[in-house]
């Protein structure tokens, strides 16, 4: 029997599925919708809910904000940090991971925010470390354009060093709470760090009490060689949209080798593969749904708009019915590769329309009843060897209906096969990842 994988759900604090057949949403801005989802996932023994984030209203696609706002693609997107607080306070077991960009937050503010959220989430908080991928985001933070990837990661390395020192600036037993002597915290156990690097300077210490995990669980999604090397050095979990079971295995083997080369135990870093299963009560119902999603002009344009934003390449300039020219990006290489190298890579005969239809979020196409999909996932798990799956909605937007398909359909089928735990793993998010 296969050993249990870890499971997460990938979403964002954007518009929910406002235009789907089984949805009645569009305005989840009080946070209650996402709290409901988190509770449903928690009931089904998911390990964490994950929020991506971007810091702009893009205008890369067609040189306009139109598609982004018309299709609710990337924008609007609200701040996931207050939402994490609400979810953490409303749940007991599920981990809460949010994306915070090293481009946007001064390190001290980020460390303080993470420590605060880890307290509110009672040790279940995770930080998805990103350096941002869009010129538009960089322009919201005082830069003319996005720095080169290699420079962003160099800054991020120093950033991690600094926030790590801030997280450790209080010794674990610095809070004494001695009523008789009238001592809250012992000043001899709280230390300035006097950090002076190439990019940052910070005196410290942090003005927050050490959080249950000491630092949040670190997630990372870099796909380039430099991104993977960064993850190998810092991450507790890596998320990726890989190409088929062979691509999944190759990615995980590569990350594990890089983790070992960085002097860490390969088992200490868990790899999560993005999957967007299309589920139905019957095989033919699932296939019909899959065909509908693949032929949706809404999803096609959303995919192109999103990929344009994250790669800084305007995909509106290309003929949908011709193969793509050779493209490279300093933005999100994983996402660009996903669309241009899906089946055959650069120079393949696939047209842009065909590539975009294959979708962004899928490491492998899973279509069928919960039992059929669970069987396929067990086979993939056995081939790849570990560690986790991160589900996302194939419509690119979340509805209660889809969450129910996952939590009341697929999760029990996976649990029956031993691929998913039937009860939440107790403890901190880092512990859940390691267990
Ligand atoms: C599944 C996945 C999710 C990502 N989520 C975000 C995100 O929420 N915000 C963001 O700015 N970048 C996001 N990224 C981009 C990566 O974090 C990374 O910064 C980017 O891919 C550039 O690094 P790379 O060239 O090493 O891939 C995501 C990438 C992947 C593959």
Give the mutation target among 160, 334, 392 for probing the ligand 1 site: most ligand atoms within 8 A of CB: 334
pTM above 0.75, yes or no: yes
Burial of 86 (0-12, 13-18, 19+ CB in 10 A): middle
Furthest-apart CA pair in the chain: how many Å? 78
- Cα distance between residue 170 and residue 178, in whole Å: 17
Q: What is the pLDDT of residue 338?
A: 61
Please indicate whether residue 334, judged by its CB atom, sits closer than 6 Å to ligand 1.
Answer: yes
Atom 24, ligand 1: residue with shortest CA distance: 222
Give the mutation target among 73, 133, 363 for probing the ligand 1 site: most ligand atoms within 8 A of CB: 133
245 with 334: CB under 8 angstroms?
no
Task: List, in order of start, the domains of the chain with CATH numbers.
Answer: 6-279+365-434 (3.20.20.30)
**Is pLDDT of 240 > 60?**
yes
Quote the tokens at residue 175.
Answer: 């809070």
**Is pLDDT of 222 > 70?**
yes
Q: What is the pLDDT of residue 411?
A: 98
**Is pLDDT of 131 > 80?**
yes
Nearest atom in ligand 1 to 131's CA: 19
What proportion of the chain, given as a percentage, has pLDDT over 90?
A: 86
Residue 168 has a CB neighbour count (10 Å cut-off) of 17
The tens digit of pLDDT for each residue in 52-79 reads 999 999 999 999 999 999 999 999 999 9
- Cα distance between residue 51 and residue 65, in whole Å: 23
Token pair 């081939």 is at which residue? 383
Residue 108: name the closest of 234, 217, 208 by CA.
208
The tens digit of pLDDT for each residue in 281-314 reads 999 999 999 999 999 999 999 999 999 999 999 9
Q: What is the pLDDT of residue 277?
A: 96
Return all residues near 316 (Cβ < 8 A) that are at least 6 apart. 61, 62, 63, 304, 308
Burial of 371 (0-12, 13-18, 19+ CB in 10 A): middle
Give the mutation target among 221, 230, 360 for probing the ligand 1 site: most ligand atoms within 8 A of CB: 221
Quote the tokens at residue 106.
Answer: 């001064």
Phi, psi of 202 (to 5 degrees): -155, 135
* Helix or strand (DSSP H, E) at 271: strand 270-275
Name the pairing type of β-strands 175-178 and 183-185: antiparallel
pLDDT mean across residues, the chain: 94
Residue 389: name the closest of 260, 251, 276 by CA.
276
Atom 18, ligand 1: residue with shortest CA distance: 222
Please indicate whether residue 11, judged by its CB atom, sits closer than 6 Å to ligand 1.
Answer: no
Cis peptide before 76 (omega within 30 of 0): yes
Residue 297: name the closest of 75, 77, 134, 73 by CA.
73
Q: How far is the CA of 224 from the centre of ligand 1 (A)?
A: 10
Nearest atom in ligand 1 to 129's CA: 17
- Cα distance between residue 424 and residue 334, in whole Å: 31
Q: How far is the CA of 362 from the centre of ligand 1 (A)?
A: 15
The tens digit of pLDDT for each residue in 96-130 reads 999 999 999 999 999 999 999 999 999 999 999 99
The tens digit of pLDDT for each residue in 352-411 reads 888 887 665 678 899 999 999 999 999 999 999 999 999 999 999 999 999 999 999 999
**Is pLDDT of 316 > 80?**
yes
Cis peptide before 248 (omega within 30 of 0): no
Token pair 């899973």 is at which residue? 366
Please indicate whether residue 149, judged by its CB atom, sits closer than 6 Å to ligand 1.
Answer: yes
The tens digit of pLDDT for each residue in 328-364 reads 887 776 666 666 554 344 556 788 888 887 665 678 8
The tens digit of pLDDT for each residue in 147-160 reads 999 999 999 999 99
């Amino acid at each position: 029997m296969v050993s249990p994988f870890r499971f997460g759900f990938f979403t964002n604090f954007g518009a929910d599925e406002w235009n789907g057949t089984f949805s009645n949403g569009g305005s989840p801005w009080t946070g209650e919708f996402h709290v409901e989802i988190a509770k449903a996932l928690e009931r089904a023994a998911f390990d964490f809910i994950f929020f991506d984030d971007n810091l702009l209203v893009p205008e890369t696609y067609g040189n306009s904000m139109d598609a982004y706002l018309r299709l609710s693609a990337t924008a609007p997107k609200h701040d996931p940090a207050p939402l994490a607080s609400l979810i953490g306070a409303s749940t007991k077991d599920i981990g809460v991971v949010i994306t915070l960009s090293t481009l946007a937050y001064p390190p001290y503010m980020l460390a303080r925010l993470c420590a605060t959220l880890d307290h509110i989430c009672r040790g279940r908080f995770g930080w998805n470390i990103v350096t941002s991928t869009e010129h538009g985001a960089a322009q919201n933070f005082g830069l003319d354009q996005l720095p080169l990837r290699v420079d962003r990661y160099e800054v991020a390395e120093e950033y991690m060093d600094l926030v790590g020192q801030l997280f450790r600036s209080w010794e674990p037993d610095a809070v004494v709470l001695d009523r008789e002597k009238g001592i809250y915290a012992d000043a001899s156990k709280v230390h300035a760090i006097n950090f002076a690097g190439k990019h940052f300077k910070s005196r410290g210490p942090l003005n927050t009490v050490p959080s249950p995990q000491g630092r949040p669980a670190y997630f990372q999604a870099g796909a380039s060689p430099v991104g993977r090397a960064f993850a190998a050095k810092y991450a507790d979990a890596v998320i990726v949209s890989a190409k088929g079971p062979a691509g999944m295995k190759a990615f995980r083997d590569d990350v594990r080798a890089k983790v070992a080369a960085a002097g860490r135990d390969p088992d200490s870093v868990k790899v999560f593969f993005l999957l967007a299963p299309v589920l139905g009560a019957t095989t033919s119902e699932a296939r019909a749904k899959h065909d509908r999603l693949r032929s949706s002009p809404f999803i096609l344009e959303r995919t192109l708009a999103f990929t344009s934003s994250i790669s800084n390449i305007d995909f509106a300039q290309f003929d949908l019915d011709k193969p793509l020219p050779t493209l490279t990006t300093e933005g999100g290489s994983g996402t660009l590769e996903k669309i241009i190298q899906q089946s055959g890579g650069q120079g393949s005969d696939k047209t842009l329309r065909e590539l975009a239809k294959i979708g962004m979020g899928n490491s492998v196409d899973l279509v069928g009843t919960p039992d059929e999909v669970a069987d396929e996932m067990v086979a993939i798990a056995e081939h790849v060897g570990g560690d986790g799956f991160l589900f996302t909605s194939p419509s690119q937007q979340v509805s209660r209906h889809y969450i129910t398909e996952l939590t009341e359909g697929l999760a029990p089928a996976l649990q029956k096969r031993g691929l998913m735990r039937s009860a939440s793993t107790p403890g901190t998010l880092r512990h859940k990842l390691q267990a």
